[in-house]
Amino acid sequence: MKLKNVFLAYFLVSIAGLLYALVQLGQPCDCLPPLRAAAEQLRQKDLRISQLQAELRRPPPAPAQPPEPEALPTIYVVTPTYARLVQKAELVRLSQTLSLVPRLHWLLVEDAESPTPLVSGLLAASGLLFTHLVVLTPKAQRLREGEPGWVHPRGVEQRNKALDWLRGRGGAVGGEKDPPPPGTQGVVYFADDDNTYSRELFEEMRWTRGVSVWPVGLVGGLRFEGPQVRDGRVVGFHTAWEPNRPFPVDMAGFAVALPLLLAKPNAQFDSTAPRGHLESSLLSHLVDPKDLEPRAANCTRVLVWHTRTEKPKMKQEEQLQRQGRGSDPAIEV
Amino acid sequence: MKSVLFTRFFILLPWILIVIIMLDVDTRKPAPPLTPRPYFSPYAVGRGGARLPLRRGGPAHGTQKRNQSRPQPQPEQQLPTIYAITPTYSRPVQKAELTRLANTFRQVAQLHWILVEDAAARSELVSRFLARAGLPSTHLHVPTPRRYKRPGLPRATEQRNAGLAWLRQRHQHQRAQPGVLFFADDDNTYSLELFQEMRTTRKVSVWPVGLVGGRRYERPLVENGKVVGWYTGWRADRPFAIDMAGFAVSLQVILSNPKAVFKRRGSQPGMQESDFLKQITTVEELEPKANNCTKVLVWHTRTEKVNLANEPKYRLDTVKIEV
C-alpha cells in the first residue's frame, strides 16, 4: 500500500469518526430519565423539608388544660452584676431573654455600696418581677486593675446575699421586698449577666425537686461541659479542666429547688474555695453527685452558653478625657 | 510485511479510540442538570414562620405584673414591618449569638428577620434554629470569596447585598407597604425601645451607638432637628461617620434606589456605611432619633473568642451534640 493512501484512509476515517462523535454529543443522551428522576427526587425532598420546617414553626397546639399560672413553680434567677462599660448592654439583653419566661422572679444583686440609678432604671423599665439587692465585695476579695478574672472568685457575696434574702433575712433595696412565703414551690438558678440562655432552659429546670444539672456550652476549654447520664442517672462528668472537683459543673449548669435551700439554712458559697470549686462549695452542702437530676434530654442538648463579652477599647475616650473633652456623662451607656 | 501491519494498525486506531470513547460516554453517570435549581440559588427563601402571638414590647404572657396598664395593641397590619438583615457565619458562639438575638427580636411586633449565612449552602444548625425560633424569618446564604477574607477588608458585604436583593425581589411586583430596614449584626445588643424609634423612619434615620469607635458612644450631632455633624472617634471626615448599627432605611428608599448596594471595589476599611448611604441620601435628609440622638439604645458589644484548648483533636464522644 502506498503511503499516500495510508494517510488518506487514516484522514478519512478520523473525519468520519469525529463527525459521528459530534453528532452523538448534540443529541440528548438517554441518560436523561435517571437525571430527571434524580432532580425530581431532590425537589421532592426539599419541598418536604420546607413543609416540615413550616410545621415546626407553627405554634404547637395549646394543651387541653393549660396549667394555671399559680400552679407553675417560680424560677428565682440570681444575677450578680457590677459596674463596667458593658453592664447596661448585658443586663438589657439578659432582661429581654428573661421576659420570655413566665413565673420568673429576677434577683439582681449589685456589687456596690448603694443601688445605682442605671440598674434601678433598667429594672423598672424591664417589666419583670424583680428584687434589687446590693452588697459590696470586700476590698481583699476585689480584683485589682489588670488582674485576670480567676484570681478571686467573683460574685460570691452577691449570690450569698440573694440566698439570705430568699431565707427571709431581708436586705432588698428595690422591687419585691418580701421573701417567698414558706412552702413556695420554686427553683433557684444562678445566671451570670454575660452568659446566653435559651427559653427552653428555664422550662427544663422549673420542676426540679433537688438539684438538676445539664450541659453548658463553650466552657472549660471545651465545646461543652456536662454530666454523663446512663439510665436517667448522672454517672460521671464530661469535663477536661480539674476533673477532680466534687461537682465539675459551671455556675450556669445547675439549679436548686427552693425548699431544699430553705431546709439547709447554712448552705452558701465559700469565698475561700480554690479556683473552680465555687460551685462545689455550695452543692456539697445540698446533694450527692449521684442524686443529681439530669435535664435537657438526659444531658444531650446544650441550652446555655458561657459566652463572655470583650472589654470595649476606650483608647479614644481616654485621649479625649485627657484633653478635657470626654463624652457627656449624662448620656448613659 | 511489517509496514503493512503498521499501516493497518494506524488505520484502525482512530476507530478503536472512537468506540472506546462512545462506550465511556454511554456508561458515564449523568452530569449535573443544566436547568437552574431554584432551591439552591442564593435567593432561596425559607417559608416565613407562622406569626406566634407576640407581645407588644412587654414581658411574657403570664408573668406577674404590678401596676402595668397595657396600652391597646395596634392592629398588626398598620405597623410598618421592620426588616432586620443579619449576616452570620459559622463559629462556636454562632448558636449562642443567634439565640439571644432571637430572644430580643421575638418581642418586637411586625419584625421580619433576614438571616444570611456566609456559607455555600444552608447549614443544618441555622435551619433547625430558625424553625424553632418563633418569629417570621427568611434564611438565605451566600459565600464570601476567599480573597475577601483578609483582615482589614470589609466583612459581610455579600451577605448584606443578598438581603437587599431579596427584599427588592420580593417587593418588585407589589405596591410597597411601609417598611423599615436595618442591619443587625449578630453580636450587638439592641434595646426594645430602638425598634419603636426606627419604625417611624420616613427616609433614613440615625441614632447613637454605644461602645464603638474607641469611645463610650458615637452619635450624630443634632441642631434644630437636623444632623449637623458627627461625634465620633475615628475618621470624623467620613461623609457619614456612623456605625452599621446606627441607622435604618425605609423600604421605599431601598426600592427606589435599586442600584444601591455595599461595594467592594474601591472601598476603604470603615467606609462601608458611608459608601452605601451616599448612594441613597444626604446628611440634610437624615432623621435623628432617640431624643435628638442623646440616648444610647444599641451597643456594639463583641463576644470574646471561645477557648477550646481542651477539645480533643478527634471527636471522642459517643454522641454528637450541637453547641
Domain hosting residue A195, numbered range: 74-209+251-288
Please indicate whether, in this complex, the C-beta atoms of B50 and A99 are within 8 angstroms of each other.
no
Minimal Cα–Cα distance from B15 to chain A, Å? 7
Residue B271 or residue A94, greater confidence: A94
Does the pLDDT of residue A95 top 90, yes or no? yes
pLDDT tens digits for B124-174? 999 999 999 889 999 999 999 988 888 878 889 999 999 999 999 988 877
Residue B306 or residue B181, greater confidence: B181
- CA-based nearest residue in chain B for residue A3: B7
Does the pLDDT of residue B62 top 80, yes or no? no
Please indicate whether, in this complex, the C-beta atoms of B303 and A102 are within 8 angstroms of each other.
no
Does the pLDDT of residue B40 top 80, yes or no? no
Does the pLDDT of residue A88 top 80, yes or no? yes
Please indicate whether, in this complex, the C-beta atoms of B18 and A307 are within 8 angstroms of each other.
no
- Residue B183: φ, ψ to 5°: -105, 115
Please indicate whether, in this complex, the C-beta atoms of B296 and A199 are within 8 angstroms of each other.
no
Kindly indicate the confidence band of residue A145, based on its pLDDT and cuts at 50, 70 and 90: low
State the average pLDDT over residues A324-332: 77
- Domain count within chain A: 1
Share of chain B above pLDDT 90, in %: 52
For chain B, what's the residue count?
Answer: 323
Q: Is residue A79 in some structural domain?
A: yes
- The architecture of the domain spanning B81-299 is Alpha-Beta Complex (3.90)
pLDDT tens digits for B229-259? 998 877 888 899 999 999 999 999 999 999 9
Please indicate whether, in this complex, the C-beta atoms of B28 and A103 are within 8 angstroms of each other.
no
> Mean pLDDT across chain B, nearest whole number?
81
- Which of the residue ranges A55-59, A269-273, B203-207 would you say has the lowest mean pLDDT? A55-59
Candidates B273, B285, B287, B311; catalytic one: B273
Share of chain B above pLDDT 70, in %: 81
The pLDDT assigned to B103 comes to 94
Minimal Cα–Cα distance from A157 to chain B, Å? 26
Q: Is residue A237 in some structural domain?
A: no
Report CA-CA distances (Å) from B70 to A68, A131, A170, B8, B56. 21, 22, 31, 98, 9
* List of chain B residues whose C-beta atoms are within 8 Å of the C-beta of residue A317: 214-216, 233
Residue A107 or residue A332, greater confidence: A107
Residue B54 or residue B6, greater confidence: B6
- CA-based nearest residue in chain B for residue A100: B60
Where are chain B's structural domains?
Answer: 81-299
- Tell me which residue in A32, A89, A238 faces B301 most closely, judged by beta carbons: A89
Residue A64 or residue A50, greater confidence: A50
Q: Is residue A27 in some structural domain?
A: no
* List of chain B residues whose C-beta atoms are within 8 Å of the C-beta of residue A54: 47, 49-50
Please indicate whether, in this complex, the C-beta atoms of B208 and A196 are within 8 angstroms of each other.
no
Residue A132 or residue A140, greater confidence: A132
Q: What does the alpha-carbon distance between residue B307 and residue B316 come to, in Å, rounded to a whole number? A: 18
The pLDDT assigned to B152 comes to 78
- Tell me which residue in B30, B97, B303 faces A308 most closely, judged by beta carbons: B303
Beta-carbon pairs below 8 A across chains A and B: 244
Does the pLDDT of residue A252 top 90, yes or no? yes
The pLDDT assigned to B60 comes to 40
- Which of the residue ranges A15-19, A255-259, B175-179, B236-240 would you say has the lowest mean pLDDT? B175-179
Q: Is residue A328 in some structural domain?
A: no
State the average pLDDT over residues A285-302: 91
- Which of the residue ranges A115-124, A147-156, A299-308, B242-251 would you say has the lowest mean pLDDT? A147-156
Question: Do B213 and B234 contact (CB within 8 A), yes or no?
Answer: yes
Alpha carbon B130 to its chain centroid, in Å, reads 14
- CATH number of the domain where residue A194 is located: 3.90.550.10
ipTM of the complex: 0.76
- Tell me which residue in A20, A97, A317 faces B214 most closely, judged by beta carbons: A317
